[in-house]
Amino acid sequence: MDFTIDDVRQIMEDARYLQDEIEALKYVIHDVPYDEKPAEGEYSILEMVGMIDHAQVAFYRPAMEEIIKQSSPEVSVSTEYESSFKLRKDETDTVDTILNRIIKHRAAFLNFMSKIRPLEWERSGFINGKRRTVYSLLNELINFERDQLKKVAERVMTLNRN
């Protein structure tokens, strides 16, 4: 085991903190052009936030659930969440409904994580030929989200200065 119960507690706290960050974003996102892409190939603020939810829903949570079930050592979840991402935005999907959906999914994910038993954090499976534990997947997700939210904050600050 490359981690302790304290490490698990800390990463759970980090996941809760990022939930709060997304909730706080609801109050500042309306002050900037959140759906504009700054340059070719770059994501808008809304897309960056949406990618957080998509990564969790399309890859990380299903992979963790499959490893915990231990139906087979090879995890059959696609790791291509970034290329499969598409913002579902139509007339009924506003920035608020998108952020609320992300918050709802995160609350369900936090509930799921709180039910993982200590030994299940150590369970592992092979994803694209590499052994991954439930803990390492959660750690990777938290780091991805932290990076995404940092990019969002930097973009918001830049737009607020202009």
Q: How many C-beta neighbours within 10 Å does residue 13 have? A: 10
Mean pLDDT of 106-111: 92
Whether 10 has a pLDDT exceeding 90, the answer reads yes
Query: What does the pLDDT read at residue 74?
Result: 77
Mean pLDDT of 117-141: 90
Q: What is the mean pLDDT of the chain?
A: 87
- Binning pLDDT at 50, 70 and 90, where does residue 114 land? very high
Whether 92 has a pLDDT exceeding 80, the answer reads no
Mean pLDDT of 127-131: 85
Q: Distance between CA atoms of 43 and 51, rounded to whole angstroms?
A: 9
Domains along the chain with CATH numbers:
5-161 (1.20.120.450)
Question: Alpha carbon of 107 to those of 71, 79, 110, 111, 138: distances in Å?
Answer: 26, 23, 5, 6, 15
Give pLDDT tens digits for 41-63.
788 898 898 899 899 998 999 99
Mean pLDDT of 67-94: 77
- Binning pLDDT at 50, 70 and 90, where does residue 150 land? very high
Mean pLDDT of 3-18: 91
Question: Which tokens is 54 given?
Answer: 């998509």
Give pLDDT tens digits for 16-46.
998 899 888 888 888 899 888 888 778 889 8
Query: What does the pLDDT read at residue 55?
Result: 92
Query: Residue 29: which residues within 8 A CB-CB, separation 6 or more?
Result: 45, 46, 49, 95, 99, 156
Q: Distance between CA atoms of 7 and 139, rounded to whole angstroms?
A: 10
- Binning pLDDT at 50, 70 and 90, where does residue 71 land? low
Query: What does the pLDDT read at residue 91?
Result: 64
